[in-house]
Chains A and B, each alone.
Chain A
């Protein structure tokens, strides 16, 4: 029973470890991607370029 209890505490460590890593990685990704987020004017320009790009006639 004591051995089982010892194993279970490892699951607690594991869950806390995953939680820490998940939060840290997600936060870093959010901060990094936000720095590269396009401005609204860029979004507009990209959409207009995509919609109005000249296509080769078949």
Chain B
């Protein structure tokens, strides 16, 4: 087994929308998710977020329109042959330009969103190219600075979601000593295909922070259960996931068979939790109830499992 490295991983900065992470260079037009200020392509400190770039374009086009309106008003005043007509031209120009300005002001926010949408459509190849450059930059650091490479891939994965990137992250995570205080992510790493790295990572996360085990992770384990069982300590991974799943009644309702299959491997505390939930819903989960009771009887006999686990009994294990 490979030796794991103790690393420090920066917490993941969550944004409301994925595109909030995207930056565009005002100078060369490159896109990146890795830097906040300095453009990785041209090295200039000209990076800005996409809505700001769209806002700049919208403002510039609105200013041009107002300027055109003012010029027309001035033209009308210039050719007016009498003072009253000059006054009429000036008043009409002022009124119409003001009207245009009010409408522009009221619709600026919507226009920025429209412009942002157009930028995404227009620059989609450039954005994709920027993401690929970001991945290459991360790949260059895989050996020298794996934790930083993971952080970079995590950022790219916010926008570019595919199995190779996820697998690379899972593979890197498997080389780290994971701790409970780390800002670990699981949902964004769930793949379409099977990955032993991801399965191993799910098992570790299930032990470290079972709150991270959600429906997608349970479904992944169900889909690839035979492959996971075939792995080294594969059953431990599945039991850890089943143990994490019993924290919510909803998961017990959705996956009773899966939990039943690994009840015999649940630690005492998880088994107690399962029995507690089942006892709160008499008439439901009959098979699961029978299995949980049988495992409890077998493991603890007539004794209280709390007492047994306190004594370091069977099943009061590492998680």
Contacts and interface: CB of A to CB of B under 8 A. Distances in A.
Interface of A: 5, 8-9, 11-12, 15-16, 18-20, 22-23, 26-27, 30-31, 33-35, 37-41, 43-44, 46-48, 50-52
B107 A30 contact: yes
Q: Which of A18, A31, A46, A47 has the most CB of B within 10 A?
A: A47
Interface string B61-77: 00001001100110111
B107 A50 contact: no
Interface residues of B, number: 45
B92 A19 contact: yes
Nearest to B114: A37
B129 to A, nearest CB: 11
Task: Decide if the interface of chain B is mainly helix, strand, loop or mixed.
Answer: helix
A50 to B, nearest CB: 5
Task: Decide if the interface of chain A is mainly helix, strand, loop or mixed.
Answer: helix
Contact of A51 (B79, B96, B117, B124): B124
B184 interface: no
B103 interface: yes
Given A15-B79, A30-B103, A40 B113 contact: yes
Interface stretch (B158-166, B171-179, B285-293): B158-166
A14 to B, nearest CB: 8
Contact of A43 (B72, B76, B117): B117
B96 A43 contact: no
Interface in B100-143: 100, 103-104, 106-107, 110-111, 113-114, 116-117, 120-121, 124, 127-128, 131
Contact of B120 (A16, A22, A34, A47): A47
B160 A51 contact: yes
30 contacts: A5-B81, A8-B79, A11-B75, A12-B80, A15-B76, A15-B89, A16-B72, A16-B88, A16-B89, A16-B92, A19-B73, A20-B92, A22-B65, A23-B69, A26-B103, A27-B103, A33-B110, A33-B114, A39-B113, A41-B17, A43-B19, A43-B113, A43-B120, A44-B18, A46-B117, A46-B120, A47-B22, A48-B18, A50-B121, A50-B124
